[in-house]
A and B are shown apart, each in its own frame.
Chain A
Amino acid sequence: MMERLKGLSTPSRDNLVTYALVFAAWAVMQSLASAHAISSSMVGLLVPITAYVSLAISLNLVVGISGELSLGHAGFMSVGAFTGLVVAQILAPSVASGPLRLLVSMLAAGGVAALAGLVVGVPVMRLQGDYLAIVTLAFGEIIKNLLNNLYVGFDGGLHLSMTNVASLGMSGGKVLINGPQGAVGIEKLSSFMAGMLLVLFTLLVVTNLVNSRSGRAIMAVRDNRIAAESVGIDTTKYRLMAFVVAAALAGMAGALYAMNFSSIVPKKFDFNTSILILVFVVLGGMGNIRGGIISAALLTVLPEKLRFIGDFRMLIYAVVLISVMLFSNNAQVRMTLDGIRTRLARKDDDEALADGERGGGAHA
Chain B
Amino acid sequence: MPRTEGTYKAQSERAAGTTTGQRPAAKRQRTKMVAPPNDYLVPERDALLTPVLECRHLGIDFGGLHAVEDLNLMVGKTEIAGLIGPNGAGKTTVFNLLTKVYQPTRGTILLDGQDTAGMDTARVSREGIARTFQNIRLFDSLSVEDNVKIGLHNQVSCGMWSGIFRMPRYWLSEKEFHDKALELLDVFHMADNATDIAGSLPYGAQRRLEIVRALATNPKLLLLDEPAAGMNPVETEELMDNIVRVRDRFQIAVLLIEHDMDLVMGICEGIVVLNFGRLIAKGTPEEIQANPQVVEAYLGKQD
Question: Measuring CB to CB, which residues of chain A are less than 8 angstroms from any residue of chain B?
Answer: 4, 9-10, 204-205, 208-209, 211-217, 219-220, 223-224, 226-235, 241
Contacts and interface: CB of A to CB of B under 8 A. Distances in A.
B137 A231 contact: no
Given A208-B166, A212-B163, A214-B163, A231 B153 contact: yes
B160 A231 contact: no
Contacts, number: 104
Interface in B104-144: 120-123, 125-126, 130-131, 133, 137-142
Contacts of B120: 229
B146 interface: yes
> 6 tightest A-B contacts by CB?
A212-B163, A232-B125, A223-B139, A229-B121, A227-B137, A220-B150
A231 B124 CA distance: 9
Nearest to A212: B163
Given A4-B171, A219-B142, A231 B177 contact: no
B163 A232 contact: no
A356 B139 CA distance: 27
B138 A232 contact: no
Which of A219, A220, A235 has most chain B Cβ within 10 Å? Answer: A220
A93 to B, nearest CB: 33
Interface string B161-203: 0111110001101100100000000000000000100000000
Contact of B163 (A215, A220, A229): A215
A231 B163 contact: no
Interface of B: 99, 101, 120-123, 125-126, 130-131, 133, 137-142, 146, 149-151, 153-154, 156-160, 162-166, 170-171, 173-174, 177, 195, 213-214, 216-217
Contacts of A231: 125, 130, 150-151, 153-154, 213-214, 216-217
B153 A216 contact: yes
A228 B150 contact: yes
Given A229-B121, A232-B217, A213 B126 contact: no
B153 A213 contact: yes
A184 B59 CA distance: 65
B122 A232 contact: yes
A208 B163 contact: yes
A223 B140 contact: yes
A21 to B, nearest CB: 21
Contacts of B217: 231-232
Contacts of B156: 213
Contact of B125 (A10, A208, A219, A229): A229
A212 B125 contact: no
Given A217-B150, A220-B150, A234 B122 contact: yes
A224 B139 contact: yes
B139 A233 contact: no
Contacts of A10: 195
B122 A229 contact: yes
Contact of A233 (B122, B130, B160, B177): B122
A208 B173 contact: no
A107 to B, nearest CB: 15
Nearest to B127: A232
Contacts of A224: 137-140
Contacts of B126: 232
A220 B138 CA distance: 9
A213 B146 CA distance: 10
Given A220-B150, A235-B122, A227 B163 contact: no
A228 B170 CA distance: 22
A220 B142 contact: yes
Nearest to B177: A213
A219 B137 contact: no
A121 to B, nearest CB: 15
Contact of B146 (A208, A216, A226, A233): A216
A205 B165 CA distance: 7
B87 to A, nearest CB: 21
B163 A233 contact: no
19 contacts: A208-B165, A209-B163, A213-B158, A213-B173, A213-B177, A214-B158, A216-B146, A217-B153, A220-B142, A223-B141, A224-B137, A226-B121, A228-B139, A229-B120, A230-B130, A231-B150, A232-B123, A233-B153, A241-B160
B142 A223 contact: yes
Contacts of A214: 158-160, 163
Contact of A226 (B137, B151, B153, B165): B137
Nearest to A219: B142
Given A212-B163, A230-B130, A233-B122, 12 more contacts: A208-B163, A209-B164, A213-B149, A213-B163, A219-B141, A220-B153, A223-B138, A223-B141, A226-B101, A231-B125, A231-B213, A231-B217
A227 B122 contact: no
Nearest to B139: A223
Contact of B170 (A212, A226, A227): A212
Contact of A212 (B139, B150, B154, B158): B158
Contacts of B170: 212
Nearest to B216: A231
A233 B99 contact: no
A229 B123 CA distance: 9
Nearest to A204: B164
A212 B150 CA distance: 10
B154 A208 contact: no
Contacts of B99: 230
B83 to A, nearest CB: 17
Nearest to B128: A232
B154 to A, nearest CB: 5
Nearest to A210: B163
Which of B131, B139, B166, B217 has most chain A Cβ within 10 Å? Answer: B139
A230 B159 CA distance: 21
A4 B172 CA distance: 11
Contacts of B163: 208-209, 211-215
Which of A213, A224, A229 has most chain B Cβ within 10 Å? Answer: A213
Contacts of B160: 209, 212, 214, 241
Nearest to B170: A212
A230 B125 contact: yes
